């Protein structure tokens, strides 16, 4: 996904895990609203690019991140999980309100 690759690139350039987590949370929430069934797949599709980008930066770039930064990039999955499942829940609430239940 483009959003995940962008979040990984920002994670390398900025180096702020909280900002990277926000960039993972927002698309996962949007995708959770648009496709509420199996929200874990949005976490995988968006969140996997953050550790991949960190690993690629470690292998290919001259300014190498610490190995701990690569390991901490896996923490980007946590806000992705919250966003995807929150978006899925929000879609369920919206569907129930529209149905008049």
The listed range with the strongest mean pLDDT (58-62, 70-74, 95-99) is 95-99
What's the pLDDT at 101?
A: 59
Kindly state the average pLDDT of the residues 75-81: 92
What's the pLDDT at 29?
A: 95
> By C-alpha distance, which of 82, 80, 92 is closest to 46?
80
Helix axes 40-47, 77-99, angle to 10 degrees: 140
**Distance from chain centroid for Cα 32:** 11
Residue 44 and residue 3 in contact, taking contact as beta carbons nearer than 8 Å: no
What's the pLDDT at 83?
A: 95
Q: Would the pLDDT of 79 be above 70?
A: yes
Q: Which residues contact 10 (CB under 8 A, 6 or more apart)?
A: 19, 20, 23
- Whether this prediction's pTM lies above 0.95 is answered by no
């Amino acid at each position: 996904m483009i959003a995940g690759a962008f979040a990984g690139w920002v994670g390398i350039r900025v180096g702020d895990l909280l900002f990277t987590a926000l960039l993972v949370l927002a698309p996962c929430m949007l995708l959770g609203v648009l496709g509420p069934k199996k929200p874990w797949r949005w976490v995988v599709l968006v969140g996997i690019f953050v550790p991949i980008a960190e690993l690629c930066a470690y292998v290919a770039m001259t300014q190498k991140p610490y190995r701990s930064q690569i390991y901490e990039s896996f923490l980007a999955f946590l806000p992705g999980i919250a966003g995807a499942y929150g978006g899925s829940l929000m879609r369920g609430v919206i569907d129930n309100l529209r149905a008049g239940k």
